[in-house]
């Protein structure tokens, strides 16, 4: 059981405090959402996944990325262990960089319904070309500090 503030009701979650296997696919992954412990406040939450992996849909070779997910919660927040397992489920998932990055952002936005969400996918080079993919749900809220994602552009040996 997960708890928000001391007066919050216990929340049943799928993974938190339990042994959980890596889901076989992103579609099979169950994301848990819990009540926002500070719904009266507007604030930004950031998740960074510097070792994200998926598979190239053409060659089957691994692709690597540094993902940064920023969102401004509304009524609920994503539970971090379920997010970790969801992101890990891409390890054996074959999709282009654009599909992985935008699909993760769209699913989180659809299910969690935050005020705002953005995702940056900073993909490491394959074939000599790094690919960076960015998606956001709309304009960022004017009353929330939204820092730079802090991922330096790929420079190779430069």
Furthest-apart CA pair in the chain: how many Å?
54
CB-based contact 103:26 (threshold 8 Å): yes
Q: What percent of the chain has pLDDT over 70?
A: 92
Res 157: pLDDT: 64
Q: Which of 56, 70, 100, 143 is catalytic?
A: 56
User: What CA–CA distance (Å, rounded) separates 87 from 72?
Assistant: 20
Segment 31-46 mean pLDDT: 97
Is residue 56 annotated as part of the catalytic site, yes or no? Answer: yes
Segment 140-150 mean pLDDT: 96
Q: 41-66 burial, b for 16+ CB within 10 Å, e for fewer? A: ebebeebebeebbbbeeeeeeebebb
Is residue 63 annotated as part of the catalytic site, yes or no? Answer: yes
Segment 88-92 mean pLDDT: 97
Three-state SS annotation for 84-131: HHHHHHHHHCECCHHHHHHHHHHHHHHHHCCCEEEEEEEEEEECCEEE
Indicate the pTM of the whole model: 0.89
* Residue 34, strand partner residues: 77
pLDDT band with cut points at 50, 70 and 90 for residue 60:
very high
Binding residues for substrate: 78-80, 97-98
Residue 135 tokens read as 């998606």
Binding residues: 78-80, 97-98
């Amino acid at each position: 059981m997960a708890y928000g503030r001391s007066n919050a009701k216990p929340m049943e979650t799928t993974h938190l405090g339990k042994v959980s296997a890596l889901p076989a696919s992103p579609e099979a992954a169950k994301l848990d959402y819990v009540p926002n412990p500070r719904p009266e406040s507007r604030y930004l939450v950031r998740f960074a996944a510097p070792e994200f992996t998926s598979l190239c849909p053409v060659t089957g070779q691994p692709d690597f990325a540094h993902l940064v997910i920023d969102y401004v919660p509304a009524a609920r927040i994503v539970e971090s262990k379920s997010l970790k397992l969801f992101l890990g489920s891409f390890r054996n998932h074959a999709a282009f960089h654009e599909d992985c990055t935008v699909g993760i952002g769209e699913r989180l936005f659809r299910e969690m319904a935050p005020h705002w969400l953005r995702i940056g996918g900073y993909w490491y080079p394959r074939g000599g070309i790094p690919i960076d993919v960015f998606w956001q749900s709309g304009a960022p809220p004017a009353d929330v500090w939204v820092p730079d994602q802090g991922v330096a552009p790929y420079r190779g040996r430069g």
